Amino acid sequence: QMEDEGTGKAALLPYIQQNPNSSKWGLKIYNLVDNDSNFIKKFIRKIGEPPVIFSNSLMNLSVNELTIELINRGYLNAEVSAQVDTANKKASVVYSVVHNEPCIILNYTNEIPQRLLTRQPNRPLTRQNIMNIVKRIFRQKKDIPGDHETFDQRWALIEEGDIFDMNALEAERTRVSAFLRNRGYYTITRDNLHYLADTTLQPNRVDLKLRLLDTLSAVPYTIARVNVYSGYDPLFKEDYRIVDSMDYKGINIHYDPLHFLRPAVIHEKIRLRPGDLFRERRGEAILSHFRALDCVGMADLQYVQGNYPDSTLLDCNVYLTPGNIHSLQAGLEGTNNAGDMGVALDVTYGHLNLFNGSELFNLNLRSAYEFVGGSSGENGINHNYYELNIRPSLTFPKFHLPFIDDYVNERFSSQTQYSLGYAIQKRPTYTRNFFNFNWKIRWTGHAQEITHSLSLLEINYISMPWKSDKFRDYLNSQIDPLTRYSYDDIFTAGVDYSLIYTNAAMGRMWEHLYTFRFNVETSGNALYGLSRATRAGKNEDGQYTLLGNPFAQYVKGDFDLAHTFRLDTKNVLAFHAGIGMAYPYGNSTILPFEKRYYAGGPNSVRGWNTRYLGPGSYNEGQAGDPTTHVGDISFIASAEYRFKLLSWLEPALFVDCGNIWTIKEYPNQSGGYFRWNTFYKELAVGAGFGLRFDLNFLILRLDAGTKIYNPAHSEGNRWVLFKEPVWGNSAGYIAIGYPF
């Protein structure tokens, strides 16, 4: 326990050197057996947790660590003490922390020479600059760069009036040293920067100055050569053998017998040339580019002061180690499609360096067999069926776009992907084919916080080449128009853009983890404009067609935010909210079935089965077909409390809220139309309990949710908890990963 007079209790907890058992359950499981003499006892003790034995030395060490941390945070007069109670053979330790008045920074200045705080210009790779490098090598001629872009103190991480916090001081040293190292000063590191602190002026007040030691030796360095060693493995460096070397556009490339990566690809990823000033950020960008390539196992970069008469010349050496080029994944899984069980086999082959330029080729094959529930009936739609799917794709590690290629490749990790897809669904009553083509580009920054994806052309075509006579009669006479539309041939062609922003990049741990997703897609605009321009004919429904099939025209947008608050090492609060809307227009009066929203399921309102919630107050008793539970507007919000019971077991309590609605009034979805004055009354609410099993390589999730507020009932009867049987109003799920 900690009694903290002031702030920062959560920040000080990591400095406690001895913590109690994470849970009583883990300790009880461990004590179920008295030793680990056999396999069963070893397993029990492994899933349990051994008791933590109190240590007086660790308690005293905790006091010292807390005191040092408080002093580092500017509380120079902080007082830390500990008391221990050992009653009943159980130790209880209470740490008392009193901050007292912090030390405040009165003035902050830097005494770094102005010539070092001036941005140095790049030297472009020209014939004259190459000659200058030669002159410098043989004549030791030194150039003094001119003044450009003076250092701005307003970006300082230390301000007058701040607490004298050592962490802030270290961050400021890092910032200034990075500024200098990105302007040619290779020999300057954070250790060359020192503070002078004067605490004699006033009690708990300090004057602060930042100084650079040995300023006379601080001179800008220039890149003389860029060397790339392809196929180099640091674990077997004595076996590395160069069989081919070349000068490719200013870069010296050395190959082993594998000739790993084409020269043009290496040249694209290295934005550094002889004559450039040393800039640390350029080196970091080079490593980021190469490590983003799937075929590269390891990448390293070293700067070496070559054997030149001029000591301010550097060689930049890049070492590239190939990774595993081939991959094969196979999985057997159970499927649950709207309550119908099945089995699926999924096999994916990958080649990570198809044309020796880190081109990624994937071939995915999937087959599934589904056992559809219900009787076969006269309409003949409830039969078991199978599905076959093949999807090849080819991804290039660059943009296939004119004009912006060099600009983007220098600043981002970029990809271009081409993919094809074909799937066939075979039932006794019909055959359905799915065709897909996608041309997509992706790019992300070096910090990997923002990822962009743009489908420049996405084409989907769904056809039903064969229907049995009974099924045709069923669609034409017995089924509602909405479900009938889901079995029509449809063609879509459009663009799609998505953005993902998260602070979980680079494997960092955050107390507040958030992820924001945005997606917008549109389809049919170009085809509609072309059809109108060419005065193409329309079908009997007033729609333009392509190859005899109407094409869809719509716009769709989605916003999604997930936020996780880490209360401490054991407890987490997670929130999620998502909203989406789609609108058909022009050539369409209704969205394609595959593009419409649905609710219920393991990542939605978990008290409802998948595709059996909504739209609005639509009564599911009117039709048991999940194809009717679709809409054009979606809103989902969830809250989840997770707590560590064991190191591998995390129970969770959750509440979900949401629904879907239609943007137009469809006669076969009464109550589904979105209205501002009633939609809030149609928000379904479910709650439940779940378990998350941490298997190291994945999170296995079991969730059970029940309905609390059911908008499908009439007003006044929608609160169903404890009023209706819980078993009939609940749903259970087995899933992989967290729901959000």
Amino acid sitting at position 330 = A
- Phi (first) and psi of residue 219, to 5 degrees: -130, 150
Asked whether residue 329 carries a pLDDT value surpassing 60, the answer given is yes
HSE (CB half, 13 Å, CA atoms) of 364? 14
d(CA 646, CA 692): 11
Convert the pLDDT of each residue in 40-90 to its tens digit. 888 888 888 888 889 999 999 999 999 999 999 899 989 999 999 888 888
List, for residues 117-138, the tens digit of each pLDDT value.
Answer: 765 555 544 444 544 544 444 4
The answer on pLDDT for 148 being more than 50 is no
pLDDT, mean of residues 297-324: 93
Q: What per-residue confidence (pLDDT) applies to 118?
A: 67
What pLDDT was estimated at residue 520?
A: 97
**Mean pLDDT within 575-583:** 96
User: Cα separation of 281 and 289, whole Å?
Assistant: 12
Per-residue pLDDT at 376: 42
Report pLDDT for 737: 85
Residue 156: pLDDT over 50: yes
Residue 573 confidence (pLDDT) above 70 = yes
The per-residue DSSP string of 10-52 comes to HHHGGG-S----S-HHHHHHHTTSS---SHHHHHHHHHS-PPP
Q: How far apart are CA 473 and CA 22, in angstroms?
A: 64
Q: Residue 380: is its pLDDT beyond 50?
A: no
Assign 3-class secondary structure to 377-422: CCCCCCCCEEEEEEEEEEEECCCCCCCCHHHHHHHCEEEEEEEEEE
- What contacts 625, CB < 8 A, 6 or more positions away? 479, 483
User: What is the structure's pLDDT at 375?
Assistant: 44
> Is residue 139 pLDDT above 70, yes or no?
no
How does residue 624 score in pLDDT terms, banded at 50, 70 and 90? low
Rounded mean pLDDT, 393-401: 90
Question: What per-residue confidence (pLDDT) applies to 127?
Answer: 46
**Interval 477-491: pLDDT, tens:** 755 666 677 778 888
What order of strands is seen across the sheet that includes strand 313-322? 244-248, 251-255, 222-230, 313-322, 296-305
Which pLDDT value is given to residue 132?
52
pTM: 0.75
Spell 422-443 as b/e; 16+ CB within 10 A means b: ebebebebbbbbbebebbbbbb
Residue 597 pLDDT more than 90? yes
pLDDT tens for 271-307 read: 899 999 999 999 998 998 899 899 999 999 999 998 8
Percent of the chain at pLDDT above 90?
Answer: 45
Residue 709 pLDDT greater than 80, yes or no: yes
pLDDT band at 727 (very low <50, low <70, confident <90, very high): confident
Distance CA 198, CA 553 (A): 71
The Cα–Cα gap between 509 and 178 comes to 23
Tell me: pLDDT of 252 over 70: yes
Indicate the pLDDT class of residue 2, thresholds 50, 70 and 90: low
**Within a 13 Å sphere around the CA of 442, how many CA atoms are in the beta-carbon half?**
13
State how far the Cα of 105 lies from the Cα of 76, in Å rounded to an integer: 13
Quick check: 17 and 54 in contact, CB under 8 A? no
Average pLDDT over residues 671-684: 93
Q: Which residue is it, tokens 């439940």?
A: 688
Q: What DSSP designation does 616 have? A: T
CA distance 308 to 433: 68
- What is the dihedral angle through the alpha carbons of 265, 270, 273, 276, rounded to the nearest 10 degrees? 160
d(C-alpha 176, C-alpha 317), whole Å: 26
Selected residue with higher pLDDT from 362 and 696: 362
Show the CA angle centred on residue 541, arms to residues 537 and 545, nearest 5°. 40
pLDDT at res. 240: 93
- Mean pLDDT of the region 675-695: 93
Q: What's the mean per-residue pLDDT of the chain?
A: 85
**Local confidence band at 558 (pLDDT 50, 70, 90 cut-offs):** very high
HSE (CB half, 13 Å, CA atoms) of 354?
A: 13
Tell how strand 413-426 and strand 385-396 pair up: antiparallel
Classified as helix, coil or strand, 292 is: coil
pLDDT at 362 over 90: yes
- Token output for 121: 């210009």
Question: For the residues 388-400, what does the mean pLDDT come to?
Answer: 93
pLDDT at 149 over 60: no
Mean pLDDT of 233-254: 94
**Cis before 725? omega within 30:** no
| Rounded distance between C-alpha atoms, residue 421 and residue 435, angstroms | 6
CA pair distance 256, 238, nearest whole angstrom? 13
- Hey, which bits of 202-278 come out as E strands? 205-212, 222-230, 244-248, 251-255
Distances (CA, A) of 474 to 105, 213, 376: 81, 87, 13
DSSP 163: B
pLDDT score of 740: 85
Over pLDDT 70: what percentage of the chain? 86
User: Could you count the other beta carbons within 10 Å of the beta carbon of residue 25?
Assistant: 14
